[in-house]
Amino acid sequence: MELLKNNMEGRKTMKTLLKRLSVLAVSAVFMTVLSPVHSYAAPKGTLTMFHAGSLSVPFAAMEKAFEAKYPGIDLQREASGSQQAARKVTDLKKPCDIVASADYKVIDKLLIPESTTWNIRFATNQLVLCYTDKSAYAKEVNAGNWYTILQKKGVVWGHSDPNLDPCGYRSLMVLQLAEKHYKIPGLYDKLIANRPKENIRPKSVELVSLLQTGNMDYAWEYLSVAVQHELKYIILPDEINLGNYKFDDLYSEAIVKVTGKEPGTFMDIKGQSCTYGVTMIKDAPNKEAAEAFLEYMLDPEGGLKILKDMGQPPFVPCRVPTAEMKAMIPAGLQKLVEVKD
């Protein structure tokens, strides 16, 4: 039905083609690929997207819906750590249309200004402590005692690599904020003392299989990942979960040292609420398809709704920090974006 409606609207806008299209209309019902609107200007071909591992499940759902809408486009997604997604563009020069990062700052840091000029913030997330019913102390753990359980000997818990994965340094920030919030001096160091380096993994999603196979008792994950993988999880107070941007001032008190631009150098990352960013690469091989996808993805009734259903609260509408940046994004997307820092 929707398709038919589209066809009707399309006909109105293309008066010169009216005659021809009306002939085609009947067959279009049977051959959706050749539907009149799309046969004229529909983007097609391969659309390449590099995105954060934590977006895999919602993007898989979006891909399905989007490709049904645009049968001519083949969306090819590559999930990785957010940094790696950007590196594939900057260092490996892999052709890519869209990059979506679990931390919008990765786009600011690595892709602007060489590879793109804008960065749309589209969703939020928060950190939760995940476990399974087989985990040690699974029956006792709750939002009030998790930090004592993580200090117990024999409890295996981990997080992803703070140098590679935003979820990794965010996990450490949660621990720092917990020390302040629960007013227990030295809590951070005591917790880390019970987390050998071996419990670190490159990407947070990889920790899920360690939980599920019983190699690990607790792991720090995004809420969305916990929901999508049907893990048990503990929701933490807003003051420490990095999920509520109203607490950004408080979050910024957490500072994690991560590796810098070359081995042996370091830089500090300040805490901030989890904000996802998406951008289109300047020399994207398939700009039309990329715009079509972003238009679908940033639509409150389209991609944003899928994100919401999967435990990843979207910004409605999505945001860019400045009016100058808004002016740089493709015209078709501007209506879906507001200026708000």
Partner 1 sequence: MFKKELFFWITISSGVVILAFILIPLVEMMTAPSMDMLVKTFNDKDVMRSIWLSIYTAGLAALISFIFGTPFAYLLARTDFTGKRLVESIIDLPIVIPHPVVGIAILSVAGKNHWIGQIMSELGIRIMGSVTGIVTVLVFVGLPFYVNAAKNGFESISPRLENVSRSLGASIFGTFFRVTFPLAWRSMLIGIIMCSARAISEFGAVVIVAYHPMIAPVMLYERFEGYGLRYSQPVAMWLVSICLILFLALRVLTLRSKKDI
User: Nearer to partner 1 by C-beta: 64 or 93?
Assistant: 93
Decide if 167 contacts 222 (C-beta within 8 A): yes
- For residue 266, what are the β-bridge partners? 259
d(CA 148, CA 164): 28
What is the closest distance, in whole angstroms, from the C-beta atom of residue 170 to partner 1 in the complex?
Answer: 16
Number of residues engaging partner 1 in binding (CB under 8 A): 32
Identify residues 133-162 at the interface with partner 1 (CB under 8 A).
134, 156, 161
Cβ closer to partner 1: 84 or 171?
84
Closest CA to 125 of 176, 166, 87, 160: 166
- Is residue 115 part of the contact set for partner 1 (CB under 8 A)? no
- Of 168, 135, 308, 318, the closest CA to residue 228 belongs to 308
DSSP 282-318: TT-TTHHHHHHHHHHHT-TTTHHHHHHHTT-PEEEEE
- Kindly tell me which residue out of 64, 143, 192, 196 binds partner 1, with binding defined by CB under 8 A: 196
- With tokens 């892709």, the residue in question is 111
The contact pattern for partner 1, residues 212-251, with x = CB under 8 A and - = no contact, is xxxxx-----------------------------------
Of the candidate residues 198, 230, 249, 341, the single one contacting partner 1 (CB under 8 A): 198
Written as six digits, the tokens of 176 are 């720092």
* Region binding partner 1 by CB under 8 A among candidate stretches 22-30, 49-57, 81-89, 226-234: 81-89
Residue 26 CB neighbours (<10 A): 9
Should residue 114 be labelled a site residue for partner 1 when binding is judged by CB under 8 A? no
Catalog residues that contact partner 1 under the rule CB under 8 A.
81, 83-84, 87, 90-92, 134, 156, 161, 163-164, 196-202, 206, 209-210, 212-216, 259, 261-264
